[in-house]
Structure 1
Amino acid sequence: MKTEERILSLDHYEHGIVINALNKLRNDLIGERRPTDAVDDLLLKTLDAPYQRMKRRSRHETR
């Protein structure tokens, strides 16, 4: 079976929101004594996601 990957571009602020949301979900699951394995994996993957530098456009390219 072929697996598909999704690429999501986030700025620093958006990345922080995702981290905080996943951490809140994890804490809620712990409070409910439910398994957190999937959230743990996703949280670690999000924390370790590589940076990609964006090329700057010159003034002439934006026209």
Structure 2
Amino acid sequence: MKEDERILSLDHYEHGIVINALNTLRNGLIGEQRPTDAVDDLLLKTIDAPYRKAKHRSQHAAR
């Protein structure tokens, strides 16, 4: 059975906050000498997340 996917839309500022928070968590795990594999994967996934172009309404759509 396939797992459900979640899609999260973030602006540039929010994206930076998520990356900073994950990096802080990763550094804390390193300091505690705990594995960082899951956080590493999520951090890379967040950094490499694709952009979605904003949808623009045409003038005709308002009619």
Instruction: Please say whether Structure 1 and Structure 2 have the same fold, judged by a TM-score greater than 0.5.
Output: yes
After TM superposition, give the deviation of residue 2 of structure 1 in Å: 1.9
Q: Output one character per residue of 1:4-48: Cα deviation in whole Å (capped at 9) or x when no partner.
A: 110000000000000000000000000000000000000000000
Q: What's the % identity of the aligned pairs?
A: 79
Write the mapping of 1:1-63 to structure 2, written as runs, cut at 5 A: 1-57=1-57, 61=62
Q: How far apart, CA to CA, are the structure 2 residues paired with 1:41 and 1:18? A: 14
Larger fraction in helix: 2
What TM-score do you get using the length of structure 2 for normalisation? 0.87
* Long gaps (5+) in structure 2: none
* Long gaps (5+) in structure 1: none
What TM-score do you get using the length of structure 1 for normalisation? 0.87
- May I ask how many residue pairs the two structures share in their alignment? 61
Q: How far apart, CA to CA, are the structure 1 residues paired with 2:16 and 2:47? A: 9
Q: How far apart, CA to CA, are the structure 2 residues paired with 1:19 and 1:56? A: 28
RMSD over aligned Cα atoms: 1.5
